[in-house]
Amino acid sequence: MLFPYKSTDSGIHRLDARPKVAFVLAIFVFSILISDIAYLIILLALVLTVAAAGRVLRPTLGLLRYAAYVAVFVILFNILISSGREVIATIGPLTVTSESLLFAISMCLRLFLAVSAFGILTFAIHPDEAMRVVSRVGYKTTTGLSLSTRMYPTVAADTQNITDSMRARGVEFDSGGFLGKIRARSHVVMPLLLNSLERSIAVAEAMEARGFGSSRRTNYSERRMSRSEGTMMAMFIAAAVLGIALFILGYGNADYLRGAGLNWSSGDVLAIAAYLLLLSPIVLGGRR
Amino acid sequence: MIEIEKLSFAYSRSETPVLREISCRIEEGEFILIVGKSGCGKSTLCRALNGLVPHFYGGTFSGKVSVDGLDTRKTPTSKFAGLVGMVFQDPENQLVMTNVENELAFGMENLAVEREEMRRRVTQFGEYFNLKEYFDRFIPELSGGEKQKVALASVLAMNPKYIVLDEPTSQLDTENATLFLEFLARLNGEMGVTIILVEHRLERCLRYARRVIFMEEGRILFDGGRDAVERSLREKNLLADFRRIAGREDGYGEAIVEARNVHFSYGQHPVLNGVDLTIRKGELVAITGANGSGKTTLIKQLNGLLRPESGSISELGKDISKATTASLASELGYLGQNPNDYLFEQTLRKELEFTLSNLGVKEGEWDERIEWTLSVLDLARFGEVFPRDLSCGERERTALASILVGQPRILILDEPTRGLDYWNKIKLGSILESLRREGMTTVLVTHDYRFIAEHATRVLRLEGGKLSEAPLDWVIGLASEGEGRKAEENA
């Protein structure tokens, strides 16, 4: 209920976490490097297809709805400080130029791309598995991270219960204007902090009693990747590397504020085709 | 064998010792029950058996504890992890992984058990505890009873010789507590694991133990076989039979809570399916029902924390469909399951002032109301104390104080006896009874059949989304079952 990940039987869920994390990382790299709108639209379509294949499209779109609020702001902001010469509309004292509009759209698409990749990470990868992938960094860090995932629903429930208690003690949460609401919410912070503090001491004690922190330890599950999963992971990493190389060569990098248009070269078509070829195998998912 | 010699201990920044010259011996294969009032030192004694005291807590330690010849002071706690397993009170705070299978493996990973062996034990204990179908389940989605079972299984998977359990059933309902205790007895009988169990619900677990240690103020007052100590336990009032405290007087006042045909569901899952409820002034109504039957959901409808999808609720003659919880708070006090959710101010007095100021009570009345509340709840000596420094039972009363100070006419309590020891429960019971005599109307949700049998004027049972009247004898029967005696003895 409170937890974003739900175990679902889909090809994407069955796939080993490592290729999935590699896929998400590749998409993150793209969302940072690529600014060309056409590239972004195609990649976004790919990620949403993956979300649909993993039956997590609905929650991912839910995340995108929040991103859309930010997008509205990004677009308005860009129009306000508009630069460029190609005026396409005038609203009162504001002029909308095609340069700033295209730039704003590109920024929004990058945001959507990153957010939808985050959706895959959150909704289609088991947090324990994701942690295990990251665990190469260090075991204690990983346990700390895993623990915070595990405790998330507990803290969320605590927040709800404390809010209920405060209501029962006469604190109004739903009226009294913006400042009033903020003040009401602030009453939740202190008990939540104290509860979490007491909890963390108890958890630390329980972990110590179970031998956590001893120098040598073993690892329970080391799932082996199948050959196809290994190949997929290699392809996704290759896509990210290719993306960096092509970025340096100037592909997918459209500077709309300096008048770049929506034109495509044959090189662009090849680059996009290469990305799709390398990334799309993820929809095949893992074996049953 | 565990040997304790003249063990004394005081927590850091505290001058009063919690343990005073404790000496005893625990042989392998025993099933020991440790009982005593909250704060008598039993939890601290538990923690001394695997070195958490003094390694985790610091403090002043004298005397000696040795487990199979290993001195706890000279050996790091992690060394004891495989020898003395420990299960704590709140399952929420001892499970660290997100799924059950990884949880079972966590302790073994720390002990550097080889992978093949870990697999074998995970399978073995998964089957023994009937947990196999839960392996992929998210721990946060399990019920309290399931979580506690996972906690025990994951400690057992480390193959300890001794298992110390600190009030492991205090957060569980009667049915789950009984299942859990029966399981412990089985482990002890079949696997020979030594069980050291701290519990305050003596009536629940006495029948499983072969030896009982009674502690008071940091000392062992008596220690012996179950039958030998039974008389002493009775003298301490620990094995009292039911005493019907609430009279079954007829003719309560006017109806002050009326719910008609209330429906409610979470998404597709219907919880309340046409609930009708009438509560009269001066009643103490207990609502009972299985886990997940919707008891908490029901009482949250009564003060606006949740709204019925259809049906009507009126209180003190007014329809509450538009009223906020906060606006109802001065008439209707609500105490949720965890008292800690109510405690954050620096002193108990400030905690009460917080409520009074929210409710808009004139400052001139504050002192009188605060004095009244503190005296009714037997908290007068704690007025200037940080509420979080108080014991579990005192915290419960403090949270109740933060509600009662508003002088509501109706009290709604969700599992008020959870985690309370025997003495604190008696105290709470008599407080509720004296409030009732002064005209308070109380609705309480609880699994504690004994508490219901002693205090409720009327019992309602929530089942299949509907409420029905339950005869008191039925509750007494359930309470007796939980305590392993025959209903006729108490009837």
Dmax over CA atoms of chain A, in Å, equals 70
Residue A274 has pLDDT above 50, yes or no: yes
Residue A135 scores a pLDDT above 60: no
Residue A259 has pLDDT above 90, yes or no: no
3-class DSSP assignment, residue B38: coil
| CA-closest candidate to residue B293, choices B417, B487, B470, B481 | B470
Say which of B79, B114, B158 has its CB closest to residue A218: B114
Mean pLDDT of chain B: 90
- The reported pLDDT for the residue numbered A3 is 57
d(CA A18, CA A233): 7
Q: Using the beta-carbon criterion (under 8 Å), do B115 and A165 form an inter-chain contact?
A: no
What are the pLDDT digits (tens) for A160-175? 999 999 999 999 988 7
pLDDT at B17 over 70: yes
Could you count the other beta carbons within 10 Å of the beta carbon of residue B133?
9
Cβ atoms of B120 and A223 within 8 Å: the answer is no
Chain B positions in Cβ-Cβ contact with residue A217 (cut-off 8 Å): 109-112
pLDDT band at A142; cut points 50, 70, 90: low
As beta bridge partners, residue B4 has B24, B65
pLDDT of residue B250: 59
Burial B28-52 (b: 16+ CB within 10 A, else e): eebbbbbbbbbbbbbbbbbbbbbbb
What is the arrangement of strands in the sheet containing B70-71, beginning at the earlier edge strand? B19-26, B2-10, B60-67, B70-71
pLDDT bucket at B489, cuts 50 / 70 / 90 = very low
Q: Which range among B102-116, B151-165, B298-312, B465-479 shows the weakest confidence by mean pLDDT?
A: B465-479
pLDDT digits (tens, 9 = 90+) for A102-125: 999 999 999 999 999 999 988 888
Amino acid residing at B296 = T
Strands A87-91 and B410-414: unpaired
pLDDT confidence of A148, banded at 50, 70, 90?
Answer: confident
For residues B46-58, average pLDDT: 92
Q: Hey, is B460 helix, strand or coil?
A: strand
Asked if residues A154 and B104 have their Cβ atoms less than 8 Å apart, the reply is no
Burial status of residue B389 (CB atoms within 10 A of its CB: 0-12, 13-18, 19 or more): exposed
- Tell me yes or no: is domain B2-235 CATH 3.40.50.2020: no
Q: Do A167 and B329 touch (CB under 8 A)?
A: yes
Q: Note the ipTM here.
A: 0.88
Residues 6 or more apart whose Cβ sits within 8 Å of residue B136: A7, B99, B100, B101
**Are A168 and B138 within 8 A, CB to CB?**
no
Work out the minimum CA distance from B203 to partner chain A, whole angstroms.
Answer: 27
Q: Does A169 sit within 8 Å of B329, measured CB to CB?
A: yes
User: Could you tell me the pLDDT band of residue A137, with boundaries at 50, 70 and 90?
Assistant: low
Q: Which residues make up the CATH 3.40.50.300 domain(s) of chain B? A: 2-235, 255-490
**pLDDT tens, B200-257?**
878 788 889 999 999 999 999 999 998 888 888 888 877 777 777 766 565 678 899 9
| Phi, psi dihedrals of residue B73, rounded to the nearest 5° | -75, -30
Q: How far is CA A263 from CA A93, A247, A260, A268, in A?
A: 31, 17, 8, 10
| Set of chain A residues whose Cβ sits within 8 Å of the Cβ of B108 | 218, 220
Q: Is the pLDDT of residue A183 over 90?
A: no
Report the candidate in B294, B260, B252 with the shortest Cα–Cα distance to residue B277: B260
Classify residue B409 by its DSSP letter: S
pLDDT at B38 over 70: yes
Q: pLDDT at position B163, please?
A: 96
Q: Using CB atoms, which residue from B90, B138, B326 is nearest to A167?
A: B326
In this prediction, residue A215 carries a pLDDT of: 72
Give the residue from B242, B142, B185, B255 showing the smallest Cα distance to B32. Answer: B185
Q: Residue A31: what pLDDT?
A: 94
- Predicted local confidence at residue B486, as pLDDT: 45
- In this prediction, residue B485 carries a pLDDT of 55
Would the CB atoms of B341 and A127 count as touching at under 8 Å? Answer: no
Task: Determine, for residues B340 and A172 on separate chains, whether the beta-carbon distance falls below 8 Å.
Answer: no
Q: What is residue A2's predicted lDDT score, i.e. its pLDDT? A: 46
Strands across the sheet containing B310-315: B269-280, B255-266, B310-315, B318-319
pLDDT of residue A237: 94
Query: What was the pLDDT predicted at A81?
Result: 77
In this complex, do A3 and B336 lie within 8 Å of one another by their Cβ atoms?
no
Chain B nearest C-alpha distance from A50 (Å): 23
**pTM of the model as a whole:** 0.78
Q: Is the distance from CB of B326 to CB of A170 less than 8 angstroms?
A: yes
Size of interface A-B (CB pairs under 8 A): 187
Q: How many whole angstroms separate alpha carbon A202 and alpha carbon A151?
A: 13
Q: How far is A235 from chain B (nearest CA, A)?
A: 29
Residues of A in Cβ contact (< 8 Å) with B325:
164, 167-168
Distance (Å) from the alpha carbon of A128 to chain B's nearest alpha carbon: 7
- Which stretch of A49-53, A271-275, B25-29, B94-98 has the lowest confidence by average pLDDT? B94-98
Mean pLDDT of B324-339: 94
Concatenated DSSP letters for B228-293?
HHHHHHHHTTTTPPP---S--------EEEEEEEEEEEETTEEEEEEEEEEEETT-EEEEE--TTS
Within 10 Å of residue A42's Cβ, how many Cβ atoms?
A: 14
Q: Please answer yes or no on whether A3 and B140 come within 8 Å at the CB atom.
A: yes
Closest Cα in chain B, distance from residue A260 (Å): 49
Residues B108 and B126: their CA atoms lie apart, in Å, by 14
What is B255-490's CATH topology? Rossmann fold (3.40.50)
User: Which residues lie below 8 Å from residue B111, measured CB to CB, with a gap of 6+?
Assistant: A211, A214, A217, B81, B82, B158
**What is the four-CA torsion angle of B438, B441, B445, B447, rounded to 10 degrees?**
40
pLDDT in tens, B365-422: 999 999 999 999 999 999 999 999 888 888 999 999 999 999 999 999 999 998 888 8
Predicted pLDDT of residue A164: 95
Q: Is the pLDDT of residue A40 over 90?
A: yes
The more confident residue out of B6 and B239 is: B6
Say whether A203 and B94 touch across the interface (CB within 8 A): yes
Residue of B nearest to A205 (CA): B56
Q: What is the pLDDT of residue B484?
A: 64
Mean pLDDT (whole number) for A30-53: 94
Closest approach of B344 to chain A, Cα-based (Å): 5
